[in-house]
Structure 1
């Protein structure tokens, strides 16, 4: 049954409580739980991080909203803590990175398939192919540093093959800004989709910027630096999809609705009973936040929240493999680049992007170095050279 945003009031703000023990409960298992449990934890950490980031920015620009923002922001801070602390301590940073890229691929694939605006859907497909290649490059690094199969983490839900090569993803900043949706005409799901994906990508960028310097391997350090730069491009791309003419309160209302939508989607798919309880609890908390902000929206703007929000939530984000969709997009759109706000074949790229790419790659590409000779095979990871040696050895034995 669809959730009615206007009927379901959730838990009132003054009843939303936490303790330190509550915030640092039992984690999920990196081996025994479904990989999409990790995906949901990663995404919701990003969703909550975006909420806190937006709230601080809004408070700096709106004196009359500061106290209301502070009340909800403290709860959001604790929600993010509880979600993020669900990550297991035996999951190393590179394994978490594989989860981040799987999240970017599978969530963006789901959003792209359900986005009603053709231009926005094209934008999501475009970015998805770049994250798809990042998973391949980090999988090669995982093999390089640990000798382990990346499916140890991603559980074979997502292909490990090259996408749009990372070395070709570097573009001039003016070729990463997109056209925004029109707040007056866009479907509500388009607004929620844009917030979901920019939240996820911003969290990826933040994580790579924090964890990259922690590696001692020089190729790993360079690879994180390179892909963090692409993630900044993605944040620029996705945030520009949001209509800048939306008021601060309107954007806040959409943020709260998007948190409701994402917790609702997590709850719909979760198999871990501990996480399922968390998603239900925070869905109820976010409904309380949403109705609190609805009241502010009516009071400060004199508008009906129904002008902005759908009565019922859209279809949940699909937490499942999207392998065939991704393969089709890879076949059809790998050769695209961006020029201004549009998408063009790489042969038609703007000169400014070609110059920028030549400069940034002038001393080599970490993504190419990290994956040189790497090719994933089920059950093992053999470089082309090792595969040839093995074939020759088998021939000699015969």
Structure 2
């Protein structure tokens, strides 16, 4: 069924402002909710934060107060949306349990986007970071079982395997290697533009979550793990954001932000199983369409452009569905020895000894006993004889199949 938000009937944008009672939703039951309902909530929380923060930056770089007032009005509603969605999380869900859902989202969202991606450069970027988020899921899962006795395989509904990816110790790269070639907005496929916006927002949400909860965790090993992985998420946000075309105008980008959100809300509505949350997606979609139509007005008024000049065909592509991607992930895992090198990706054995990667590794990883992503697994193995995994068959990268030792060389050492 085709859906074009630019041709939908629109409500008055001011009518979508909600009261305090409307803003505080009924939270989900963590013991009954579908894992992908939780990941959709995290995704839309991140999409709203990205739009809200983009709007703040727009306002800070705009000299026209009339335009700044218009985007402030849109931003206030976006903030209401974000706060409402974030409060769907229940009081009894721990920081670490929520983290497992963050990483399941990172894994299965990235797989879904990569499988749909036509641009080779963008797909390579998705496949590369996928293996790192997959490894983060494994390390947080071991900490969860060690600290709380909770098996992450139950939280992910057995939809996503839990085992090592490219080891986190290998993720720490020279900042120069996180910048990629930007995509030409005018010639890129609509799905590519959506994919870049979606993954940037999702990874930014993860980065922000780890940044904020790192100091709130109950012990040092957990605090250090959030610190380390939070730094990797900063790399991912830089990498994905560098794919965006920096030549777009602020109003073109505003339109694309709200179009992306409308697409995501529509996808969430079409795939949601929880009836209470499905209603939130439906109402949020109507809010987003109202914002999108306001963007169209602003683009026409201030830049004399029609929306078709930014998004030639407004019809949504195939909806985004979050689901299990075990086979695709296992195939990508065969590239675990790849690292990032300026615009591209190479086998770590091809790098020269004077590369930025090795120089940075020597600085941050000079003492293995200080690399908590490694020591948390070693601690678990010391206590239990082997690590915690949910692995359905032998690991597709043999060097990562040993349950009794944490590998620190894959993707890192010649």
Q: TM-score, with normalisation over the residues of structure 2?
A: 0.90
Instruction: From 173, 185, 203, give the equivalent of 1:183.
Output: 185
Q: Deviations over 1:251-301 (max 9, x none)?
A: 101001001011011011100001100001011110111011011111211
1:47–1:377: structure 2 CA closer, same or farther, 3 Å change rule?
Answer: closer
Q: CA-to-partner distance for each residue in 1:340-364, whole Å, 9 max, x for gaps?
A: 0101111123611111012111132
Q: What corresponds to 2:51 in structure 1?
A: 51
Over residues 37-90 of structure 1, what are the superposed CA-to-partner deviations in whole Å (9 max), with x where a residue is unaligned?
000000000000001100000000012221111000000000001100001111
Task: Tell me, in whole angstroms, the C-alpha distance in 2 between the residues paired with 1:123 and 1:81.
Answer: 30
The residue number in structure 1 matching 2:238 is 236
Structure 1 match to 2:372? 366
316, 334, 340: which is aligned to 1:313?
316
Using the alignment, how far apart are the partners of 2:156 and 2:210 within structure 1? 19
Matched, 1:324 2:330: no
Corresponding residue to 2:104 among 92, 102, 105:
102
Does 2:201 align with 1:199?
A: yes
* SS across alignment from 2:316: coil
Give SS of 2:150's match. coil
Q: With structure 1 as the length reference, what TM-score do the two structures score? A: 0.93
CA distance in 1, matches of 2:54, 2:184: 20
Contact 2:129 2:236 in 1 (8 A): yes
Contact 1:338 1:349 in 2 (8 A): no
State how far apart, in whole Å, the 2-side matches of 1:293 and 1:212 are.
37
CA distance in 2, matches of 1:135, 1:34: 18
Q: What's the CA shift for 1:215?
A: 1.8
- Residue 11 of structure 2 contacts residue 286 of structure 2 at CA under 8 Å; is this kept in 1? yes
- What residue in structure 2 maps to residue 303 of structure 1? 305
**Residues 166-175 or 352-361, more deviating:** 352-361
Greater mean deviation of Cα atoms: 20-29 or 95-104: 20-29
Aligned equivalents of 1:378 and 1:109: distance in 2? Answer: 18
Single out whichever of 287-296 and 344-353 deviates more from structure 2: 344-353
Question: 114, 136, 144: which one pairs with 2:138?
Answer: 136
Q: Which residue of 1 aligns with 2:33?
A: 33
Root mean square deviation, CA, Å: 1.6
Q: Which stretches in structure 1 are left out of the alignment for 5+ residues?
A: 386-398
Contact 1:10/1:283 (<8 A) preserved: no
Q: Classify 1:170/1:16 alpha carbon distance in 2 versus 1 (closer, same or farther; 3 Å).
A: same
Q: Which residue of structure 1 aligns with residue 23 of structure 2? A: 23
Match of 1:375 in 2: 388
Q: Is the 8 A contact 1:23 1:81 kept in 2?
A: yes
CA deviations 1:319-339 (Å, max 9, x no partner) are: 1111111111112x2111111
Question: How many Å separate the matches in 2 of 1:237 and 1:147?
Answer: 35
Task: After TM superposition, give the deviation of residue 12 of structure 1 in Å.
Answer: 2.2
Residue in structure 1 matched with residue 86 of structure 2 by the alignment: 84
- Equivalents in 2 of 1:349, 1:265: separation in Å? 41
Q: Distance in 2 between matches of 1:370 and 1:320?
A: 29
Q: Structure 2: any 5+ residue segments left out of the alignment?
A: 382-386, 393-401, 405-414
Q: Deviation of residue 378 (structure 1)?
A: 7.8
How do residues 263-302 of structure 1 correspond to structure 2 at under 5 angstroms? 263-302=265-304
* 1:108-154: CA deviation from partner (whole Å, max 9, x where unpaired): 11011111111101111111111000000000111111122112311
Partners of 2:162 and 2:391 within 8 A in 1? no
Structure 2: distance between partners of 1:384 and 1:318:
32
